Homo-oligomer: A and B are copies of this chain.
């Protein structure tokens, strides 16, 4: 899925919602455990229930890896089940170099056929390159994260720029917005504004709405650009809206409420 297609999907669905599939076998409704593949069964029903309200799904690889080999089967089935017009993001935060990074990229982009992957920048631009070399796929670099520990290193001043700004500066200098994005956390509007200055045209994948305390209006106020430029993620608030037989309709309700907020925001901006 290229940028033009993504923007078109946002316009069509009036949504820039990404649903995080952090599917934990210990948290899904008990009745699903009778199915052959409970994790896939949960995801399938969540996808059926929410696909009209979102433009992306983001499985968190930690949750699938934790199940051993069977978890990777559940993941593959999930990706195959997601409709073509919805972006799939592997939340993997991979960060390595050379043949190792090439191997990670090949796995997420070719073997599991994800559209996008999250990548950690600590090792430098040569740890981003093997992913970005897939020009038809998306590389989403950690810029600014929403956890308290973000202060430990990301906010350190390196000359006159904070580390996260330097990361974003260097990445945007080398890679344009056609196949790179940034993770930009949603806890403080001013920080999102600073991140937007670093990368005016790039899409931001924004976690931290809902459970982590971020505010949608604030994110939009400071992060919106002329192509929307935002994918706002919600995981637990949607997929675990209810623990019971009606979990999927509860997820649909939570997703549609977020979509309605987003539709109103997009409408006000004539997008």
Of the candidates A91, A142, A153, the one having the most CB atoms from chain B within 10 angstroms of its own CB is: A153
Fill in one digit per residue for A118-143: 1 if any B CB lies within 8 Å of its CB, else 0.
00111111110000000000000010
Q: Is A147 an interface residue (CB 8 A)?
A: yes
Q: Is A33 an interface residue (CB 8 A)?
A: no
Q: Are A142 and B157 in contact (CB under 8 A)?
A: no
Q: Are B147 and A126 in contact (CB under 8 A)?
A: yes
Q: Is A199 an interface residue (CB 8 A)?
A: no
Q: Are B124 and A142 in contact (CB under 8 A)?
A: no
Residues in chain B near residue A85, CB distance under 8 A:
none
Q: Is A188 an interface residue (CB 8 A)?
A: no
Stretch at the interface among A10-18, A37-45, A95-103, A249-257: A95-103
Query: For residue A74, which residue of chain B has the nearest CB?
Result: B69
Fill in one digit per residue for A75-98: 1 if any B CB lies within 8 Å of its CB, else 0.
010000000000000010111111
Stretch at the interface among A1-9, A163-171, A218-226: A163-171
Q: Is A52 an interface residue (CB 8 A)?
A: no
Residues in chain B near residue A127, CB distance under 8 A:
147, 149
Residues in chain B near residue A103, CB distance under 8 A:
24, 62-63, 65-66
